Amino acid sequence: MPRQVRAEQTRATIITAAADLFDRHGYESTSLSDIVEHAQVTKGALYFHFAAKEDLAHAIMELQSRASRQMAMETDARGYTSLEALMRITFGIARLSVEDPIPRAGLRLATGGVEVRPPLRHPFTEWLDLASRKLLGAVKEADLHPDTDIEAVAHALVCFFVGTRVVGRSLEPVARQPRRLAEMWHMMIRGLVPVPRRARYLTLVAQLEQEIRAV
């Protein structure tokens, strides 16, 4: 195996092991020695790629941000309405969290006091901007009431989305997140979407939740 490929695989192994430990035990409670043991690599291999634990945390948050942006771009390219695109993106992020420890750890790091270093933006800021754009588009497309307070709803949506995972971390398995997300959307749709358009989006909620459960 070429040296560069082997080095990339080792780096990925270290990141995945660190993400798993950060997600399960928290950033502060995880040591570099814990990561070395979990990844089954040498300390030299770890320090070759990461000078400090903070660098590992930043790499995980970068990967989470990249995955979220990629999902948003792919969804935008499919021509959905603004509201459907926003719903699909939130369920897509939830699906990543269920399947992959890196997005789960990225969220825990974002809520655990790890500083986000420029040029990386804080994930909550990215999600607020995305939600605001999609909600504004949904108002223009008449999928939301015209007097919708975009800033307030975007803030509530992100807080609800993040909060379900933060609370659920102690109370229920991550596999429960799609159900919590569906509950969030049921409340949002009933409060914000005009009656003639509600059935379409309530049906979509059930479909998106089922797609995650079927994986």
Is 34 within the bounds of a domain?
Answer: no
pLDDT of 215 reads: 56
Q: Output phi, psi for 25, to 5 deg.
A: -120, -15
3-state secondary structure the chain: CCHHHHHHHHHHHHHHHHHHHHHHHCCCCCCHHHHHHHHCCCHHHHHHHCCCHHHHHHHHHHHHHHHHHHHHHHHHCCCCCHHHHHHHHHHHHHHHHHHCHHHHHHHHHHCCCCCCCCCCCCHHHHHHHHHHHHHHHHHHCCCCCCCCCHHHHHHHHHHHHHHHHHHHHHHCCHHHHHHHHHHHHHHHHHHHCCHHHHHHHHHHHHHHHHHHHCC
Check if the beta carbon of residue 61 is closer than 8 Å to that of residue 121. no
pLDDT of 174 reads: 78
Those residues with Cβ within 8 angstroms of residue 120's Cβ, 6 or more apart along the chain or in another chain: 58, 61, 62, 65
Is 206 within the bounds of a domain?
Answer: yes
Task: Show the CA angle centred on residue 51, arms to residues 45 and 55, nearest 5°.
Answer: 110
Is 18 within the bounds of a domain?
Answer: no
pLDDT of 214 reads: 61
- Dihedral in degrees, nearest 10, Cα atoms 131, 133, 134, 139: 120
Q: Which two tokens stand for residue 85?
A: 């695109």
Is 42 within the bounds of a domain?
Answer: no
Give the separation between CA 50 and CA 188, rounded to whole angstroms.
42
The predicted model scores a pTM of 0.88
CATH code of the domain in which 187 resides: 1.10.357.10
Give the separation between CA 28 and CA 131, rounded to whole angstroms.
31
83: Cα within 13 Å, side-chain hemisphere: 23
pLDDT of 150 reads: 97
- Written as tens digits, the pLDDT of the chain (215 aa) is 576 778 899 999 999 999 999 998 999 999 999 999 999 999 999 999 999 999 999 999 999 999 989 989 999 999 999 999 999 999 998 888 888 899 889 988 988 768 888 888 888 999 999 999 999 999 999 999 999 999 999 999 999 988 888 887 777 887 788 899 999 999 999 999 999 999 999 999 999 999 887 65
Is 50 within the bounds of a domain?
Answer: no
Supply the range of the domain harboring residue 120.
Answer: 63-213
Is 53 within the bounds of a domain?
Answer: no
Is 98 within the bounds of a domain?
Answer: yes
Distance set, CA 122 to CA 4, 48, 72, 155, 211 (Å): 31, 27, 16, 14, 28
Is 54 within the bounds of a domain?
Answer: no
Give how many domains the chain has, as a whole number: 1
